[in-house]
Amino acid sequence: LVAGDPAIVHCYRGWWCPKEQTFFRRLLALQEEAEVAYCRIVSISVDPQPVVAAYRAGLGARWTFLCDPDREALELLGLRETTDTVNHPYVPAVFSTFPDLTIHAAYDGYWYWGRPTDEELRADLRAISRAVRPDWDAPTP
């Protein structure tokens, strides 16, 4: 999914959460920069595929959205939000990762201010890109 590029992996509650809607607007603002910088964004929720597809289209997002309605990955990752006993969603979490999915930074978004700022995500992706791109420094004579 990340095709050898640095990535932002975003686990979210669902389309219905106002905090998620606000955070998605921020990710949308980074979308174009991520594309030209060869970085990926992946968002994961427990919503069924038709719901996720409609939400993605409505946002105008061009990155990958994954569906985990059976909550297999949620359980494997230990990211079940225990306070929501109706929807049993992911705990809001954001990870900046190396291309091999090694975590560079993790952000607990249960409280909105625990989520990364755009500047933090840019700094993470810059640091990862610098580490994995052998041609990071421009060639000089």
The CATH number given to whatever domain includes residue 82 is: 3.40.30.10
Query: What's the distance, Cα to Cα, between the start and end of the chain in Å?
Result: 37
140 occurs within a structural domain: no
Helix 18-36 crosses helix 118-132 at what angle (to 10 degrees)? 40
Torsion of CA 97, 25, 83, 109, to 10 degrees: 40
Number of domains, the chain:
1
pTM: 0.93
Could you list the residue range(s) of the whole structural domain that residue 56 is in? Answer: 7-132
Residue 141 lies in a domain: no
Q: Which residues contact 106 (CB under 8 A, 6 or more apart)?
A: 93, 94, 95
Residue 139 lies in a domain: no
pLDDT 10s digits, 69-120: 999 999 999 999 999 999 999 999 999 999 999 999 999 999 999 999 999 9
